[in-house]
Chains A and B, each alone.
Chain A
Amino acid sequence: MNSNKNLSETIRRIVADEELSDERDVRAATAPFQAEFPYEREEEAQVTRREFCNFLGLTSAALFVGATGFAAKAALDSRKSESLAAARIDGAEILTPNSSLNFSYPTERDSAILVRTVDGAYHAYGQKCTHLSCPVYYSRDHQRLECPCHEGAFDVATGGVLYGPPPRALDAIEIETRDGQVWAIGRSPSAPKDGSS
């Protein structure tokens, strides 16, 4: 009788082909409060392989969207050509040689830096480092523009890369002097170091 029961149970298991959970290491209830407040521990305890797979799939989608978005924005920005209005740079006329002044051009969000070199010439550049957009500053001791984030440096006269990771020169801001005042009249993005685009 007993053997018949076992045989039936065995056959039932084979026929049913039950889908077993692939979780083998689910935490057991150990603390008293866990017995008093029962809940589906198997669902709660751990992340299943299936959930982790789905998470990796979502991560893959997010990385793809990120890469596409970044590339699309860069491509759109490269095609945007706008005529910029001239803007007076306040305080430029009283700038002493071997010093710098921050200003915004062409919009308030675009920070820029005006440098008056030792010989009295003015040079202006966009303040974003071309490596990862940290703001550059003028080093009076070394007479060059330096990026504090990854130690890149730019030539103050040309905006070209002296050393460090930046892949191209700083964006130059065209300036001119009108009646003793310094005006920004345009902005020209720099080309890549190897000339490709």
Chain B
Amino acid sequence: MGALETLIMKSTSDGNRQSKSGQAAVWQARLIMLVMINIAQLWILAATVDAALARHYSVLLPLVIASGLCFVITLSIIKWWRPTSRKKTSSGYVREDR
């Protein structure tokens, strides 16, 4: 096996590993954020029920707006907050599309 080939093999393997671990970190971060937002929304729903039963109508609208905001953030995370590029270079760094 030639030196060039060995070098390419090694760098490709390292690059794939680094890139995959980076993607996994992004996925983990996305999941953690989504779970936290879901917990916040659950709290907001409980507060809404509480306010409605207590007839505190003035706080209902802010609670609904907060829940909607959480939903929009969730959608944005699912739709747009992804790893920037999947193109891997031989050195393992992620290259952005131009």
A-B contact count (CB 8 A): 128
Task: Tell me which of B5, B45, B54 contacts A63 (CB under 8 A).
Answer: B45
CB distance from B34 to the nearest CB of A (A): 4
List, in ascending order, chain A residues with CB within 8 A of B31's CB. Answer: 49, 52-53, 56
Given contacts A10-B12, A13-B12, A75-B57, contact A70 B42 (CB under 8 A): no
B interface, over-half SS: helix
CB distance from B91 to the nearest CB of A (A): 12
A64 to B74, CA, bound (A): 11
Given contacts A78-B57, A189-B55, contact A56 B8 (CB under 8 A): no
Number of interface residues of A (CB under 8 A): 44
* B-to-A contact residues, CB < 8 Å: 1-2, 4-5, 8-9, 12, 20, 23-24, 27, 30-31, 34-35, 37-38, 41-42, 44-45, 48-58, 60-61, 63-64, 67-68, 70-71, 74-75, 78, 86-88, 90
